[in-house]
């Protein structure tokens, strides 16, 4: 019981005032023929919109209008969070209509986005970037559910069991999607992050908690949202020991060469 009370206290403090937080910016430039695309950011479990502010500001500088969506990890299920995400997105589109809306999610946020796209897709969706999403579930969630599942309701939806929630989501979103996985993530392995229906998948240096704050990742997100193909040197200033690598379609890939294919040929 003392452990449960401690966990509850920490999470309540971290979640206070962040049930739904909208931060929108980057209005259309004066004289522009149409407003900029809207990008919706969705943070991970136990975090708040503050964790996505570096990426938010990066995309604002790139000319996008940004909605930084927040939710509580205490209580609601993934479908409940996804319903609120769809509602907030529709509201943002009513306030300032945009030609397209893109989505970028970190960890649990990526699963929320996938549920919303399958069930309550708002507006004309452009592209999606998922950073370290547990698309196949996570063994960490398997271990932690008995300890904190009573409080963190969404973690139950992230288990690896066959027939579990994540496996009930359609693997093909029907729109361009990039999966970014951390080589040494620590919470979601690259194998757990990957999704058969994604357009492109890359493995990059970095760990789970701060993946979305890395300048190289923010640049990669911006380029993908613009539809620009990438021809990068190895990530993080050319570190040769942990290069970014492109993972082609497993159905046609040669297993002997798939892990060595670089992102130079990345976006199909």
Q: Mean per-residue pLDDT for 116-133? A: 94
| pLDDT of 248 above 60 | no
Q: Mean per-residue pLDDT for 117-138? A: 93
User: Exposed, middle or buried by CB within 10 Å (0-12, 13-18, 19+), for 101?
Assistant: buried
Q: Mean per-residue pLDDT for 94-120? A: 95
What's the token pair of residue 124?
């004309």
What's the pLDDT at 154? 84
- 94 contacts: CB under 8 Å, gap ≥ 6: none
List the single range of 81-90, 197-206, 218-227, 231-240 with lowest mean pLDDT: 231-240
With respect to CATH, is domain 2-26+35-232 assigned 3.40.50.1390? no
What's the pLDDT at 25? 54
- pTM value? 0.78
* Whole-angstrom distance, CA of residue 194 vs CA of residue 17: 33
- 153 contacts: CB under 8 Å, gap ≥ 6: 73, 74, 75, 76, 77
């Amino acid at each position: 019981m003392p452990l449960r009370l401690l966990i509850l206290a920490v999470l309540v403090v971290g979640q206070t005032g962040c049930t739904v937080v909208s931060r929108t910016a980057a209005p259309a430039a004066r004289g522009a023929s149409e407003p900029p695309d809207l990008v919706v950011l969705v943070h991970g479990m136990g975090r708040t919109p503050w964790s996505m502010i570096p990426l938010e500001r990066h995309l604002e500088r790139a000319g996008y209008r940004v909605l930084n969506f927040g939710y509580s990890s205490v209580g609601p299920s993934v479908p409940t969070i996804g319903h609120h995400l769809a509602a907030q997105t529709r509201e943002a589109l009513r306030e300032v209509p945009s030609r397209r809306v893109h989505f970028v999610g970190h960890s649990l946020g990526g699963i929320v986005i996938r549920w919303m796209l399958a069930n309550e897709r708002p507006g004309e969706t452009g592209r999606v970037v998922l950073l370290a999403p547990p698309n196949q579930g996570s063994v960490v969630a398997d271990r932690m559910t008995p300890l904190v599942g009573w409080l963190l309701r969404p973690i139950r939806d992230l288990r690896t069991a066959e027939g579990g929630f994540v496996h009930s989501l359609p693997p093909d979103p029907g729109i361009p999607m990039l999966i970014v996985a951390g080589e040494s993530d620590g919470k979601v392995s690259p194998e757990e992050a990957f999704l058969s229906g994604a357009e492109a998948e890359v493995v990059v240096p970095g760990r789970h908690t701060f993946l979305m704050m890395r300048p190289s990742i923010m640049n990669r997100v911006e380029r993908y949202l613009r539809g620009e193909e990438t021809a990068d040197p190895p990530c993080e200033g050319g570190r040769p020991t942990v290069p970014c690598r492109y993972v082609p379609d497993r159905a046609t890939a040669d297993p002997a060469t798939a892990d060595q294919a670089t992102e130079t040929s990345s976006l199909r």
